[in-house]
Chain A
Amino acid sequence: MRAVNLIPVEQRRRGGARLAGRSGGAAYVVIGLICGLAVMALLYGLADHEIGAKQAEATRLSAEAQQAQSEASRLAPYTSFVSMREERLKATQELANTRFDWAHVMHELGRVLPSEAALTAVTGTVGAATPGASSTTAPAAGASAASKTVTSATPAGSTPTFTVTGCAKSQSAVALTMNRLRLIDGVSEVSLEGSSKTGGGGGSSCPAGYPSFSMTVAFDALPQPTVKTTPVSAAKSASDSTADATTKSGGG
């Protein structure tokens, strides 16, 4: 069976034009175009507003940065001065920390020496004997590359050595002396250079029949300095010390 549309043809056209209107849909296009333009105007406005606001903010931030830089530049000498103080303190600490404790070792030497032996001469040296041969201490970890290195007269890594000569009642006493010298803090090696009984006459400094000995006492190498600098505000400053030299000054 064939379907038949009973609506009159005129009315059918009118119904179809109702959706598109008399303009045939052009009105929708215009409305869409206007809406699109409105959205774009909105986007443009937002961007323009953002530009204005951000530019103002950038100008304000730049001005603040310039002011801060100017103030920091004005105070730069303070920073330089404090840096100079830190460098000198660090250098002084490095030099102080790489020294050999002579007083303690000499005290130990006197303490461990057996009563059967006596010393006639003691010679101790650390590292280079001449200043030209001294080496430079390595910069401490974390030290800035710009910080200056410090040359120590007793550089880290150098080996203190004592040469002791003396007299003993017997060769056993010489052996005992060697054993005792090993008890000194930091001794790495004690070597006997010679021990011989003397006749006691002539230029010998030992009594007749007493062995005259000579030994070399080597110590552990001086350690790397451990430098720990603290800010002046936190640390006791170097001026905290009771400065003998200062208090006993005569002026000038």
Chain B
Amino acid sequence: MTGRDRMVVVVLGAVAALVVAFLLVVSPEQKQAAQVQAKVESARTELSTAQTKLSEAQDAEKRYAAAYASIVSLGQAVPADSEVASLVYELDHASSNDKVGFESITSGTTGSGSSTSATASSAATAAAGGFQELPFTFSFTGTYEQLYKLMGRLQGFTVSKPDGSVNVNGRLLSIQGVSLAGGSTASGSSGKLTASVTATAYVLPAGQTLTGGASASAPAGVTTAASASGGSTATPAIVRPLP
């Protein structure tokens, strides 16, 4: 072996040693660095998602008071239970405003219209997934003009406005049918008509309460400072109309 050959062997050996050192020491470290970088990206994504959720939750917290007031108000339109008494009051009030005689209210759509003792809880019709329906038949007497104005008043209890809000003045009613006929002997001579109105009111699905257990200060499941210190949470002041 000449000196040149020895030199070549030495050089090759040195290069091989460097390659081996790179593969055994540096390369694994770089791979680990890449893995850690991926972990950082994952954590960054996780943080971003969590921050988005937090931002939404904080936004919801800020809007809670308005949402609570809104949902209580919507409870006037669609209450948690039948609330027939308040419906009768609203109908009587509306018909009095239009000088219309409120003759009868019957639970269901096939009644004779002679009873005012509707127990609509039994008439609640299960509606798949949504609100439950409460069918009623109302009977009014009045002039044609008075009666059509009353129809507008009844459907005007709850009105959806173009800006996306809902104006709630009373129960949400969908009128399905109106039948006008000449009045009875007592009122027929004065040009009064008898209107039989088939309408549907709505209640929340079974098992749902108006506010879902929320109070005016916080929803159910949130520990407030007051409750944490043993204080009582405020009960929502849901006003129910009485005659």
Q: Which B residues are CB-close (under 8 A) to A97? A: 160
Proximity string of chain A (36-49) to chain B, C-beta cutoff 8 Å, 1 when within and 0 when not? 11001001100110
Confirm or deny: B234 has a beta carbon within 8 angstroms of a beta carbon on chain A. Answer: no
Q: Which B residues are CB-close (under 8 A) to A36? A: 14, 18
Give A contacts to B, CB under 8 Å.
24-26, 29, 32-33, 36-37, 40, 43-44, 47-48, 50-51, 54-55, 57-58, 61-62, 64-66, 68-69, 71-72, 74-82, 84-85, 88-89, 91-93, 95-104, 106-107, 110, 119-132, 134, 136, 148-154, 205, 228-233, 235-246, 248-252
The distance in angstroms between the C-alpha atoms of A109 and B71, with both chains bound, is: 38
Q: Is the interface of A mostly helix, strand, loop or mixed?
A: helix
* Closest beta carbon of chain A to B218's beta carbon, Å: 8
Cβ of B174 and Cβ of A29 under 8 Å apart? Answer: no
Confirm or deny: B152 has a beta carbon within 8 angstroms of a beta carbon on chain A. Answer: yes
Confirm or deny: B214 has a beta carbon within 8 angstroms of a beta carbon on chain A. Answer: yes
The distance in angstroms between the C-alpha atoms of A79 and B54, with both chains bound, is: 10
Q: Which B residues are CB-close (under 8 A) to A37? A: 18, 21
Cβ of B46 and Cβ of A62 under 8 Å apart? Answer: yes
Name the residue among A106, A119, A251 with the largest chain B CB count within 10 angstroms.
A106
Confirm or deny: B111 has a beta carbon within 8 angstroms of a beta carbon on chain A. Answer: no
Cβ of A153 and Cβ of B179 under 8 Å apart? Answer: no
Q: Which A residues are CB-close (under 8 A) to B47? A: 61-62, 64-65, 68
Cβ of A232 and Cβ of B70 under 8 Å apart? Answer: yes
Cβ of A88 and Cβ of B135 under 8 Å apart? Answer: no
Cβ of A154 and Cβ of B53 under 8 Å apart? Answer: no
How many chain B residues touch A (CB < 8 A): the figure is 113
* A153-B133 CB under 8 A given contacts A92-B78, A250-B243: yes
* Closest beta carbon of chain B to A248's beta carbon, Å: 6
Cβ of A43 and Cβ of B70 under 8 Å apart? Answer: no
Q: Which B residues are CB-close (under 8 A) to A235? A: 163-165
8 closest A-B pairs by CB: A103-B152, A75-B57, A153-B200, A106-B148, A61-B43, A68-B50, A230-B164, A151-B127
Q: Which B residues are CB-close (under 8 A) to A239? A: 69-70, 72-73, 168
Q: List the B residue with the shortest CB-CB distance to A34.
A: B14
Compute the total of residue contacts between A and B using a CB distance below 8 Å: 345
* Closest beta carbon of chain B to A114's beta carbon, Å: 15
Q: Which B residues are CB-close (under 8 A) to A110? A: 144-145, 148
Q: Which B residues are CB-close (under 8 A) to A248? A: 93, 241
Proximity string of chain B (26-62) to chain A, C-beta cutoff 8 Å, 1 when within and 0 when not? 1001101100110110111011011101101110111
* Closest beta carbon of chain A to B183's beta carbon, Å: 12
Cβ of B174 and Cβ of A99 under 8 Å apart? Answer: yes
Cβ of B30 and Cβ of A43 under 8 Å apart? Answer: yes
Picked from B125, B148, B177, B202, the residue with its CB within 8 Å of the CB of A132 is B125
Q: List 30 A-B contacts (CB under 8 A).
A: A36-B14, A40-B22, A43-B30, A48-B29, A55-B39, A57-B43, A62-B43, A69-B50, A78-B60, A78-B222, A79-B60, A81-B60, A81-B68, A82-B67, A88-B78, A91-B78, A99-B155, A99-B174, A101-B152, A104-B152, A123-B178, A131-B109, A152-B174, A228-B162, A236-B165, A238-B74, A243-B169, A244-B93, A251-B239, A252-B240
* Closest beta carbon of chain A to B225's beta carbon, Å: 13
Cβ of A89 and Cβ of B166 under 8 Å apart? Answer: yes
